[in-house]
Structure 1
């Protein structure tokens, strides 16, 4: 893990109509770090991820990737939207895996992984097929490369989605509750792939309610509440030394899995 800040968010705000969802988020993700966002539904976690990946436009504040402002530049004190070509190039540096698998049903697992490689990165089909095969093998699906999504379990589809994201060699990989749509027995296989990526040094920003996974894999944990960062620190600091009744109450939902500290 490096001391270099790969992602830095400062004062990020986002409203939907009269409802302010993000109320000044400050957050840093260092290269090779796994940072997890936890908190109740509606606390702003997914909205923040979507702002990082330019799926939502933040209203104010700044998000930097490798020191490069995402989505906007400031000229004469005013924020100006970057060109679509520049925005597309920035998106290509950030991978995202969603709650739903978002695979193309008419493409095989291999073709789903190949698509971005050929269309976005300009790889030849032969190159893309080789890369897709390597990543499908990494997630344990080499034997399923010719299967269509309907022929795969939910856990297998999500592993294809992860392979598709990492095959693009993103600088940062975002995970948005990627196990929430899975049956309980399929959760472990997806978390196992994510843990392997973390151990390989992939920089990851994770939204999850899988608290044991968050505790064991994260370098830094951020508890969000009401659109703000309410507490942040190491897993030990957040899970065993909660500073507020709100965080104690949130962690208390997880059946005492963090011991008597709560």
Structure 2
């Protein structure tokens, strides 16, 4: 059975002033898939993620979630931005975990996870506390639910951020280089949680330089170069048969891994 397309990008373009960062991105993420974006810094990976979550506004093209355009409607032949209320409702269906943990320092781990559940989803505090406890347990932090961010390691803070995102039951979960700010010894614990989420069937769009993780967990890998999709396919195809010198050079940085 072929799973339905959850996210579809068609000809997505984005410029910052005179610099065109995304030059017509086309890709699909099917329900239950892990799709990883790889490529050198500056290739447009993070910008694309931010456009999916409407943290950046794309200039042209369409991004569809469950068939619904994200951020824009075409009315009378003109492209119009949706209301902030409508955009917020769409964002609630998309979770995002950032490089920096973005936890509220004055809230405990439990309260950080509870906040969106009460403010956005309208859960009672009791309901939110139960859900927060469940997901903090899933990421191995049940015993730290009363700790503040400064009392947690970087890896623990990132796992709280992941619990917060998953607790909202998003249709799609975005990961933007979530291990890049961590000390090397903490990377494995975060990747382990991501792997468990993937195995549970969570639909994930991942930007990562952790190539072994990408190879082992992804269903589909997209190599981006200078704002374009340069090659895409299964991990075996992308890592085993790089079609361009650019991809061969990029993978060459991870000598010994492949």
TM-score by length of 2: 0.99
Q: Does 1:119 align with 2:122?
A: no
Give 3-state SS (helix, strand or coil) of 2:24's partner: strand
Distance 1:144 1:92 in 2: 26
Residue in 2 aligned with 1:67?
A: 67
Deviations 1:104-152 (A, max 9, x none): 0000000000000000000000000000000000000000000000000
CA contact (8 A) 2:38 2:208 kept: yes
User: By how many angstroms is 1:203 displaced?
Assistant: 0.1
Which segment drifts farther, 78-87 or 113-122?
78-87
Distance 1:246 1:77 in 2: 39
Residue in 2 aligned with 1:208?
A: 208
Query: Any gaps of 5 or more consecutive residues in structure 1?
Result: none
Give 3-state SS (helix, strand or coil) of 2:55's partner: coil
Residue in 1 aligned with 2:243?
A: 243
CA contact (8 A) 1:2 1:31 kept: no
User: 4+ runs of 1 displaced by more than 4 Å?
Assistant: none
Distance 1:186 1:236 in 2: 27
Distance 1:183 1:3 in 2: 37
Gap change, CA 1:22 and 1:122, over 3 Å in 2: same
Residue in 2 aligned with 1:182?
A: 182
Distance 1:130 1:23 in 2: 44
Q: Does 1:15 align with 2:9?
A: no
User: By how many angstroms is 1:256 displaced?
Assistant: 2.6
Distance 1:77 1:177 in 2: 37
Q: What count of residue pairs does the alignment treat as equivalent?
A: 258
User: By how many angstroms is 1:179 displaced?
Assistant: 0.1
Distance 2:13 2:251 in 1: 26
TM-score by length of 1: 0.98
CA contact (8 A) 2:32 2:201 kept: yes
| 1:106-255 mapped onto 2 (5 Å cutoff) | 106-255=106-255
User: By how many angstroms is 1:75 displaced?
Assistant: 1.4
CA contact (8 A) 1:2 1:32 kept: no
Distance 2:224 2:257 in 1: 20
RMSD: 0.7
User: By how many angstroms is 1:169 displaced?
Assistant: 0.2
Give 3-state SS (helix, strand or coil) of 1:206's partner: strand
CA contact (8 A) 2:35 2:218 kept: yes
Residue in 2 aligned with 1:85?
A: 85
Give 3-state SS (helix, strand or coil) of 2:253's partner: helix
User: By how many angstroms is 1:2 displaced?
Assistant: 4.7
